[in-house]
Chain A
Amino acid sequence: MASTTPVDIPPAPPAPRQRPKSAGRAGDKVFLGLSRGSGILLLVIMASIAVFLSYRAALALADNEGNFFTTFDWNPAGDPPVFGIAVLLFGTVISSIIAMAIAVPIAVGIALFISHYAPRRLASPLAYVVDLLAAVPSIIYGIWGALVLVPYLEGLNLWLDQFFGWTYLFEKTEVGVARSLFTVGILLAIMILPIVTSVSREVFLQVPKMNEEAALALGATRWEVIRLSVLPFGRSGVISASMLGLGRALGETMAVATVLSPSFLISFHVLNPGGGTFAQNIAAKFDEADQFGRDALIASGLVLFVLTLLVNGAARLIIARRKEYSGANA
């Protein structure tokens, strides 16, 4: 950073505050260049993810003899090569829906527990533990799910079949261990609980004290305070927290790969073993795949990429809208 004396500055500056700007100009330029360059690099990475995946996917799709979206099979090594994502899309969506249905209400409950119900001495260590649990690697959830949860769930599955079999959904038509989409859903629910909980809790804690006092002073019970002031304020926060959780559930690999016993069938009997998800299929088929097989897997990964992009984008939009909204009322 050569501090060149500027030539364009008049000998007597009109205001004393106006100092020679170029004293650090070179340094500033380098620094700005570096930091802006990093930002641009991020955009380049994102763009190349889309481009590279699309390119490899196009190579695979060109030789695919089946319909990519409706084929119930994954056999890129066959002659002719046939593969499709119908089962994977179905399994991914169903297991994520189950996970959300279980995790979101419970996470909201725990978040309220920490923010409004728990004794104060319990609340902050609890919040701490929840944050720690978000850091447990998914492979550990995976082996726990496969080795501990699956045997435990067998009784529950029989029971669900016995009492709720009439819903079709919970009818168990095949015998076998509980390596089903339902179990995957439960495990995913447990995994996304911490993240949904901690985002929701943050939002609940931000509810202005005076809104809660307004409800209290009207003679509201604790639940009524929550219903009148906490939940309306936190609703969009909970929605975006859920979307973040959904994003994780959609792309989870190891926990599904360990628990599910995959099959290429679509069935709404969620207790039956079988089914598959995008990420699980990639993990399971990768070892045996040749170059073409890998491109086929990349094609399915591209769909997963787009799916998570949409979900996360939606979550961010909701958060951004909420910022404007709460700013207007601040």
Chain B
Amino acid sequence: MAKRIDIGGLTAYYGSHKAIEDISMTVEPRSVTAFIGPSGCGKSTFLRTLNRMHEVTPGGRVEGKVLLDDENLYGPGVDPVTVRRTVGMVFQRPNPFPTMSIFDNVAAGLRLNGSYRKNQLAEIVEKSLRGANLWNEVKDRLNKPGSGLSGGQQQRLCIARAIAVEPQVLLMDEPCSALDPISTLAIEDLIGELKERFTIVIVTHNMQQAARVSDRTAFFNLSAVGKPGRLIEIDETERIFSNPSVQATEDYISGRFG
């Protein structure tokens, strides 16, 4: 189910502007990898290259390779649509489809990818909602619009929608930044459960959060405004937060800049 990601020499552009440069790393399966770094260091851009969402942005293009268990996402003949089905994504702001019911939101990805029997679909929807710790809160109003839920519930609905199609990898782009502390806690607990089944990559601005949820942490930085972002180091979360090998990481973590 979960797959390893090997990134080699990845550079991403917006038009002529280089956003990130020459990033290489490995993301272990069934673990949580957190990306931290100051604003504008390209961590979200990097995340979006991992399911080919970056190229959706006008002018966005990518050099280098991203291997998902030895298969290059940017190889010839690879369909970005298949990539995005395999690598799911949760966004900064909860974005359920506003015109769809809770049920239809979760079922949306499934309906795209094949035809299911009614009870089969209902089963997967329930399983996904339970997986996102949302089932008990919404089981009586599956036909109500998803936009009627609270922010935290909406975000868990989006997670349920993403895991319903059983992706190999789950990318999360600051999933808690628009949420209150209690909802944030709920999502963090959920991430801890989901890593049993998925490879998870999470971008976060909140260093405590990175320390709480992740197994490994990658620190990104840029040398100056307008310069491309780079990977400074990646290591076990414990080591990064206790004894990082690069001075810049320590400065950032101890709050001396950024």
A: which residues have CB within 8 A of B?
A: 120, 208, 210-211, 213-221, 224, 228-229, 232-233, 328-329
What residues on B are CB-neighbors of A229 within 8 Å?
97
B51 within 8 A of A: yes
* Nearest-CB residue, chain A, relative to B94: A210
Indicate the size class of the contact surface on chain B.
20 to 34
Comparing B26-34, B77-85, B190-198, the segment that makes contact with chain A is B77-85
In the assembled complex, the Cα of A213 lies from the Cα of B162 at a distance in Å of 12
Does A213 lie within 8 Å of B112, measured CB to CB?
Answer: no
Given contacts A216-B53, A217-B51, contact A329 B84 (CB under 8 A): no
Q: Are B91 and A217 in contact (CB under 8 A)?
A: yes
Partner of B112, one of A210, A220, A233, A328: A220
**Is A218 a contact of B95 with CB atoms below 8 Å?**
no
A233 to B97, CA, bound (A): 9
For the complex, is B147 an interface residue (Cβ under 8 Å from A)?
A: yes
Report B147-189 CB contacts with A as 1/0, cut-off 8 Å. 1000000000010011001000000000000000000000000
Nearest A residue to B90 via CB reads A217
Q: Is B109 an interface residue (CB 8 A)?
A: yes
- Give the distance to chain A from B144, nearest Cβ to Cβ, in Å: 14
Determine if B98 is an interface residue (Cβ-Cβ < 8 Å): yes
Within 8 A of A (CB), among B87-126: 88-89, 91, 93, 95-100, 108-109, 112-113
Which residue of A208, A217, A232, A233 is within 8 Å of B53 (Cβ)?
Answer: A217
| B84:A213 contact, CB within 8 angstroms | no
Instruction: Give CA–CA (A224, B111) in the complex, Å.
Output: 11
Nearest 3 A-B pairs (CB), nearest first? Answer: A219-B85, A217-B89, A218-B109
Return the contact of A219 from the options B56, B58, B91, B165 (Cβ within 8 A): B165
Asked if A120 and B161 make an inter-chain contact with CB atoms under 8 angstroms apart, the answer reads: no
A219 near B109: Cβ-Cβ < 8 Å:
yes
Q: Are B82 and A218 in contact (CB under 8 A)?
A: no
How distant is the Cα of A215 from the Cα of B88 in the complex, in angstroms? Answer: 11
Closest chain B CB from A204 CB (angstroms)? 15
With A210-B91, A229-B97, A232-B99 as given contacts, are A218 and B165 in contact (CB-CB < 8 Å)? yes
B91 touches A329 (CB 8 A): no
Q: List 17 other contacts, CB 8 Å, given A211-B97, A217-B53.
A: A213-B89, A213-B95, A215-B108, A216-B53, A216-B84, A217-B91, A217-B162, A219-B82, A219-B109, A219-B113, A219-B165, A220-B112, A228-B108, A228-B112, A232-B98, A232-B100, A233-B99
For A224, the chain B residues whose CB sits under 8 A away are 112
Q: Which residues of A contact B88 (CB under 8 A)?
A: 217-218
Contacts of B161 in A (CB 8 A): 214, 218
Given known A-B contacts A210-B95, A211-B95, A228-B108, A216 and B147 have beta carbons under 8 A apart: no
Which residues from chain A contact B86 at a C-beta distance below 8 Å? 219
Q: Which chain A residues border B165 with CB–CB below 8 Å? A: 218-219
**Inter-chain contacts of A233 with B (CB < 8 A):** 98-99
B-side contacts of A219, CB under 8 Å: 81-86, 109, 112-113, 165
Most A C-beta atoms less than 10 A away, residue of B82, B91, B112: B112
Contacts known (A120-B58, A219-B112, A228-B108); A214 close to B81, Cβ less than 8 A: no
Contact A213 B81 (CB under 8 A): no
16 A-B pairs with C-beta separation under 8 A: A210-B93, A211-B98, A213-B91, A215-B108, A216-B56, A217-B53, A217-B89, A219-B81, A219-B86, A219-B165, A220-B84, A228-B97, A228-B108, A228-B112, A328-B147, A329-B147
Q: Which residues of B contact A218 (CB under 8 A)?
A: 84-85, 88, 108-109, 112, 161-162, 165
- Alpha-carbon distance A168/B160, docked complex (angstroms): 53
Distance in Å: Cβ of B199 to nearest Cβ of chain A: 16
The docked-state distance in angstroms from the alpha carbon of A217 to that of B51 is 8
Name the distance in Å between B159's Cβ and chain A's nearest Cβ. 12
Q: Which residues of A contact B99 (CB under 8 A)?
A: 232-233
